[in-house]
Amino acid sequence: MDHAVIDRFAREVRECPEIAEYRALRAEVMADATVAALIGEYRKLAVALQMGAMTGQPLPESEQQRFGAINTLLYGKPEVARYLLAEMRAQQLYADILKTVAEAADLDMGLPEGLGG
């Protein structure tokens, strides 16, 4: 494959509205060290919750409450809520790209039906 095509595609991704919005909001939100630390903890707890659900071993109630409290704090700040939603849109775009490439290459990625758009 011609790498110039890949480079053009990468440039288009960098310049698309979803990614531009995500980058701008990330820079604004992550400039606050307290918010950045809360987002880091929020992500760790979210992964732990997901893993617990998958393994059938839920997080202790205190950790679930902590997750809920951090979630409320973060989504209570409009700029942080906008950032987290922009991040979700960027992740969905990434999933859509992976799905499209996998289908074009006829690759079985073993992903559940409906994942990635």
d(CA 83, CA 21): 8
pLDDT recorded at residue 112? 62
Residue 116 is assigned to a structural domain of this protein: no
Question: Please, what is the angle between helix 61-75 and helix 33-55, to 10°?
Answer: 140
- Comparing C-alpha atoms, which of 67, 76, 11, 65 is closest to residue 40? 67
Residue 8 is assigned to a structural domain of this protein: yes
Q: Do residues 67 and 46 touch, judged by C-beta distance below 8 A? A: yes
Per-residue pLDDT tens over the stretch 45-90: 999 999 999 999 999 999 999 999 999 999 999 999 999 999 999 9
- As for how many domains the chain has, the answer is 1
pTM for the model: 0.81
Per-residue pLDDT tens over the stretch 102-117: 899 888 877 566 554 5
Residue 66 is assigned to a structural domain of this protein: yes
| Percent share of the chain, pLDDT over 90 | 79
**pLDDT exceeds 70 at position 38:** yes
Residue 90 is assigned to a structural domain of this protein: yes
CATH number of the domain bearing residue 16: 1.20.1500.10
Residue 110 is assigned to a structural domain of this protein: no
d(CA 78, CA 59): 28
Residue 112 is assigned to a structural domain of this protein: no
Domain of residue 7, residue span: 3-104
77 burial type by CB count under 10 A (0-12 exposed, 13-18 middle, 19+ buried): middle
Average pLDDT over residues 85-101: 93
**pLDDT exceeds 70 at position 32:** yes
Residue 16 is assigned to a structural domain of this protein: yes
pLDDT recorded at residue 1? 82
Residue 113 is assigned to a structural domain of this protein: no
